Chains A and B, each alone.
Chain A
Amino acid sequence: MTDTIEPPRARGSAWWTLTQEIADFLYREADLLDERKFRDWLDLLAEDIVYFMPIRRNVKFGQHAERENTRQGEGISWFDEDKWTLGKRVEQILTGVHYAEEPLSRTAHLVSNIRLLDVRPDPDHAAEVEVGCRFLIRQNRVEYETTTFVGRRRDRLRRVGDDWRITRREILLEQNILLAKNLSIFF
């Protein structure tokens, strides 16, 4: 999840306009989740989306790049999903008998540190962007259950008409042993 950090002056105004546009997209997405408009949220996901949350491991210094995170496409992670599975998760919540989300959680998705990491082919004609951000998600359930999820996200967005679709989301939760009984919300 590292990228080269260039001095901001090297960016033209199209880059900053695009940054604002992408930030607004991510805030709108957060609103849909917090307002529990799960079907509308699904519409923001590309049909070929990869939705991935690795498991983070405690490894020796020097082995982080190689071994810290489980890898997409192999073994067991928290999520390594496609749109079908994400659609099933929404469908499950909408049955009204998915007891881990019944009654529904209250969530607040805070998204910050939004930075464009790559724009293709260029900011004036952006067809695809890579965007990094931090998230802080506060989940409260039933009466006393409160969980805070903090981490980083790297998203790949594809322009579709006047809007964007998420084609890849990598979620790095800053935990080793999951300190929550469930990951029943979307990230």
Chain B
Amino acid sequence: MTSAPMSAGPASDGRSLREMIDLDRGTISRDIFVSPDLFRDELEKLFTRAWLFVGHESQIPNPGDFFVSRMGSESVILCRDQAGTVHVFLNSCRHRGMKVCRYEQGNTSLFVCPYHSWSYTTDGRLQGVPLFRVLYDGTLNRDEWSLIEVAKLARYKGTVWASWDPDAPEFLSYLGDAVDHLDEVLDCRDGRPGGSEVIGLHKWILPANWKFAAENFLGDTYHNPSHRSVDMIGIGPSAQRGAKGRRDNEYEGGQHVWVSFPAGHGVHSILSRPDPQYGGSYQHYPEVDAYFRHCFEARKRRLGIERARLLPFTGNIFPNASYHGRQPRGICVWHPHGPGETEAWRFFLVDADAPAAVKDVLRRFYMRYSGPAGMTEQDDMENWLYATAASQGPIARRHPFNYQQSMGAYRTNDPLPGDVSTQMTEQNARNYYRVYRAYLEGAPWQALLGRPSVDAAAE
């Protein structure tokens, strides 16, 4: 890691980030979940640099299509210009800042600001300035007043990611070996690369710090008891056939692995047994069961047995793009609103070429499982709300959270790339907050990516 903190946002009592995030002891101050100062630091130093999930190309298939998204606390426009190039712009007029687009999704040839009618083409260029000749000729150079565009944009298997930092590494370098796990979310169920589509979107406000949500997906398997009610009654795709639990047991006999990566990503995946067998799922829907059986076998043939053993459960791409890999399947982005408020967006994914009957069963399962109306995730929201609320007080903030679960119980690059634990662990969270701390300290990219050479030189 880099040396001394450069300008760490202090806690209310002046503690440094190193004291607040004490990885040797395995404790993390509650301040990072409630402090307005640290929240401002997150917006300034973290969300302006890290690669952030913006959207999916299936949302903007045609020239002129746009989808309004968010990066950090700010509104952005994901847009395919008339020539087919994908852009991400800050949704704010260069003149007085009014949002140039207040529709969620659509098709346009121009973004016209409602305030003074400056207008921009879909490639971001300032086109129309009312009374230009009279008021601005010779002064305003239109070429310099395009919509503000992200410094880096990456399209990966249908997903679109962006960073405001021109020095950010390429997206695949940023992902590192976490890419193998993300692939299992984005690839077709039969192993063909990519091919997913977004079938819908949930957006809601939750009164909790955004990091509670990210941590939940990062590999916090320990919170399973909070979902006891759905496990008792059974809401999975085979529940009508008497199966308990909130999803099918697709991972039976597999080795659960919790893997953390130097750039802050963390995943919980499963290594199926050496000879992976389709275990049966969607028992209430023979056509869907047959489809997934077919996909399972086709995937084994396509990827080879060894690669096909890896199945995704949940994960979080640093800092705030979480995923569910199979049941349900989607990407959830935790947009920060304030230390105690988060705007959650969940993108639901299916294989674009799956049969209609399969998509229908999936969407129904997604709805009853996920988000604020979902029977499983309602209970998550309850936890995050009250964890945030009960961490506000001065006495509470004197006492850090415990992150000591399975300290040191991991192996590096065995049997998969990354730091791998075969028991439930908070190693993914400890690693996440190590990287989080580095962003707030203003560390250089080599350190943010956790490159060993830099680490060694600094220590």
Q: Which A residues have a C-beta under 8 Å from some C-beta of B?
A: 53, 55, 57-60, 63, 70, 74-81, 84-85, 88-89, 91-92, 95, 97-101, 145, 176-184
Determine the distance from Cα of A100 to Cα of B343 in the docked complex, in whole angstroms.
Answer: 18
B381 touches A76 (CB 8 A): no
In the complex, what residues of A have CB within 8 A of residue B229's CB? 92, 95, 97-99
**Chain A's nearest CB lies how many Å from the CB of B448?**
31
Partner of A181, one of B103, B200, B372: B372
Partner of A178, one of B204, B208, B230, B240: B204
Determine the distance from Cα of A60 to Cα of B68 in the docked complex, in whole angstroms.
Answer: 13
* Interface window among B9-17, B295-303, B363-371, B422-430: B363-371
17 additional A-B pairs beyond A84-B240, A92-B235, A181-B207, beta carbons within 8 Å, are: A55-B200, A57-B104, A58-B102, A58-B103, A58-B104, A76-B200, A76-B366, A78-B367, A85-B364, A85-B368, A99-B383, A145-B385, A176-B104, A179-B204, A179-B205, A182-B373, A183-B372
In the complex, what residues of A have CB within 8 A of residue B199's CB? 75-76
Which 9 pairs show the lowest CB-CB distances between chains A and B? A76-B200, A100-B378, A178-B204, A98-B229, A75-B200, A183-B373, A95-B229, A181-B206, A177-B203
Interface of A is mostly: loop
Determine the distance from Cα of A95 to Cα of B370 in the docked complex, in whole angstroms.
Answer: 19
Question: Can you show 12 pairs from A to B with CB atoms below 8 A apart?
Answer: A55-B201, A60-B106, A76-B366, A80-B364, A95-B233, A97-B232, A99-B229, A178-B205, A178-B372, A181-B382, A181-B385, A182-B378
B228 touches A177 (CB 8 A): no
Question: Count the B residues whose beta carbon is within 8 Å of the partner chain — how many?
Answer: 41
Determine the distance from Cα of A127 to Cα of B205 in the docked complex, in whole angstroms.
Answer: 42
A76 touches B375 (CB 8 A): no
In the complex, what residues of A have CB within 8 A of residue B381's CB? 100, 181-182
**Chain B's nearest CB lies how many Å from the CB of A21?**
31
**Chain A's nearest CB lies how many Å from the CB of B175?**
27
Determine the distance from Cα of A176 to Cα of B104 in the docked complex, in whole angstroms.
Answer: 10
In the complex, what residues of A have CB within 8 A of residue B103's CB? 58-60
Known pairs A75-B199, A92-B375, A183-B373; A81 contacts B368 (CB<8 A): yes
Q: Does B7 contact A (CB under 8 A)?
A: no
B233 touches A75 (CB 8 A): no
